[in-house]
Chain A
Amino acid sequence: MWDAVGAWLASRRMQTLLRTPLRERHVAAGARLVPFAGWEMPVQYEGVIPEHKAVRSDCGVFDVSHMGELHVEGPKAQELLQGLLSNDLERLADGGAQYTLLTNERGGIVDDLIVYRLEAGHFLIVCNASNRDPVYAWLKEREIRGSEVRDASDEYALLAVQGPRALERLGLPEAKPFTHAMGSVGGVEAMIARTGYTGEEGCELMCPAEDAVELWDAVVQAGAVPCGLGARDTLRLEVCYPLHGNDITPDTDAISAGLGWTCALDDKDFTGVEDLRRIKEAGPERRLVAFTMEEKAVPRTGMAIAGGGEVTSGTHSPMLDRGIGMGYVAAASAALGTELKIDVRGKDRRATVAPKPIYKREE
């Protein structure tokens, strides 16, 4: 009986989706809301394709407040993170940001994240929504004296404003990619970072949760098109940014995933570094490749690639108007131009290994 009650309570909890401070704005704008990583998030407003094209040609805004924000502070904060993250924090100055991986003992990827250095001894980590709890637990359990990890995710809203006209529309000065500074947008104080997940110029704005609506309204007023997670996925896949849980997981390593550039294998030790050095030395058995379809078909996550491979992300590219994807294949099949056969619901469809990024703006 009590088991049944427990199961019922658990199922009730499962159904309780978290909401960002902008939910009412999304509903008012006609968004289609879907469950994503425990959150109720807009998947699209007008449609994935127009939103995607708005970001490629002008400017779009995404509510990504579901992402996790962790503060790591203290005189030993850098020492803690140097031992846990793959990239080298020595290269990071105040106002800098770095794409990096949290790795496990086998060199697998617990999460990919961006670490922002606010000042010496104070870092902000932005991690995937679905990994917020495991990342926090991983860091917290490994805290050393003189370092403190704090989950501040509920205190902040995060907006990604992306596109070639994003900075201009917000009245922000040009800045180098992977830098950040405090600033003001529409009268709202925010941390303004030159980072994103679309391959376009633009910024991510982090503000206190209570200021989120005012900031969102100011950004939309400036001409940014509201965009949902659907367009976020097609945009990132066109430029081959991996999605954790699909393209990279705790069972895949950075070298096979083509993320060796985020791993300071020669400069420092971190969790799983020996395995990663060994994989790099021997060469990975399989590699994460990008591909474009040669036939009319849309590849999807989980489809088999002939020869023992698997699609990890797939979609229809709005810019190329054809199916694109990423997947793991045997290293021998990873060379550019190699023909792949993808099992699309029982039919073999031809694809070709393509350079990353798959989409690049014509200069």
Chain B
Amino acid sequence: MAAEESYPGELKYHPEHDWARIEGDEATLGVTWFAQDALGELVHFEPPEAGATVAKDSTYGEVESVKAVSDVVAPLSGEILEVNQKVVDAPETVNEDPYGEGWLLRIRLSDSAEVDSLLDQAAYEQLLQDP
């Protein structure tokens, strides 16, 4: 069952509809409710290779629905610590729980100053209102 629309206040957002949960020098990344709703039920997550790095504003993977495929953009740079195998096996987890079980990657940040350039909840919601 699809999740209700929400944009949690404790997350940081990238204008390409990605979120980051910062925990010290690590971050968990995913796509926002808006992104999963626009795509529809996800059927495929193409994750990056193990041990790779991601670069802020660059594509690191693809999420795909019945209708469309979309690049996933990294909100922050870093080294990949973990890919969410649950989403690889059951991509619809992203629709059901985009900010919880449906996370995509965990990374170790290479430049924690990058966090300052991300949007907070209010700024992201404003962007959705007035793109």
CB distance from A17 to the nearest CB of B (A): 19
CB-based contact A230/B66 at 8 Å: yes
CB-based contact A49/B41 at 8 Å: yes
Residue of B nearest to A315 (CB): B66
Partner among A43, A230, A316, A318 whose Cβ is within 8 Å of the Cβ of B44: A316
Interface string of B1-17 (1 = CB under 8 A from A): 01000000000000000
In the complex, chain A residues 204-262 whose Cβ is within 8 Å of any chain B Cβ: 230, 234
Distance in angstroms between the alpha carbons of A132 and B66 in the assembled complex: 28
Does any Cβ of B come within 8 Å of A298's Cβ?
yes
Partner among B40, B46, B69 whose Cβ is within 8 Å of the Cβ of A44: B40
Distance in angstroms between the alpha carbons of A297 and B46 in the assembled complex: 8
Please indicate the chain B residues that have their CB under 8 angstroms from the CB of A323 in the complex.
44
CB-based contact A345/B62 at 8 Å: yes
Distance in angstroms between the alpha carbons of A321 and B91 in the assembled complex: 11
Does any Cβ of A come within 8 Å of B43's Cβ?
yes
CB distance from B77 to the nearest CB of A (A): 23
- For chain B, the count of residues having a C-beta within 8 Å of the partner chain is 13
In the complex, chain B residues 42-101 whose Cβ is within 8 Å of any chain A Cβ: 43-44, 46, 62, 64-67, 69, 88
Partner among A43, A318, A321, A345 whose Cβ is within 8 Å of the Cβ of B67: A43
Does any Cβ of B come within 8 Å of A48's Cβ?
yes
Distance in angstroms between the alpha carbons of A47 and B2 in the assembled complex: 10
CB distance from B90 to the nearest CB of A (A): 10
Partner among B2, B46, B62, B66 whose Cβ is within 8 Å of the Cβ of A316: B66
Q: A47-B2, A298-B64, A345-B62 are in contact. Are A316 and B69 (CB under 8 A)?
A: no
Please indicate the chain B residues that have their CB under 8 angstroms from the CB of A296 in the complex.
44, 46, 88
Partner among B40, B44, B67, B88 whose Cβ is within 8 Å of the Cβ of A297: B44
CB-based contact B2/A230 at 8 Å: no
CB-based contact B69/A300 at 8 Å: yes
CB distance from B49 to the nearest CB of A (A): 12
Residue of B nearest to A34 (CB): B67
Please indicate the chain A residues that have their CB under 8 angstroms from the CB of B43 in the complex.
298, 316, 321
Distance in angstroms between the alpha carbons of A323 and B46 in the assembled complex: 14
Partner among A47, A300, A321, A345 whose Cβ is within 8 Å of the Cβ of B40: A47
Please indicate the chain B residues that have their CB under 8 angstroms from the CB of A345 in the complex.
62, 69
CB-based contact A48/B44 at 8 Å: no
Distance in angstroms between the alpha carbons of A321 and B46 in the assembled complex: 16
Distance in angstroms between the alpha carbons of A300 and B43 in the assembled complex: 14
Residue of A nearest to B64 (CB): A298
CB-based contact A48/B67 at 8 Å: yes
In the complex, chain A residues 316-355 whose Cβ is within 8 Å of any chain B Cβ: 316, 318, 321, 323, 345
Distance in angstroms between the alpha carbons of A48 and B62 in the assembled complex: 20
Those 6 A-B pairs whose CB atoms lie nearest each other, nearest first: A316-B43, A48-B66, A49-B41, A316-B66, A298-B64, A47-B41
Where the two chains meet, the residues of A that have a C-beta atom closer than 8 Å to any C-beta of B are: 43-44, 47-49, 230, 234, 296-298, 300, 315-316, 318, 321, 323, 345
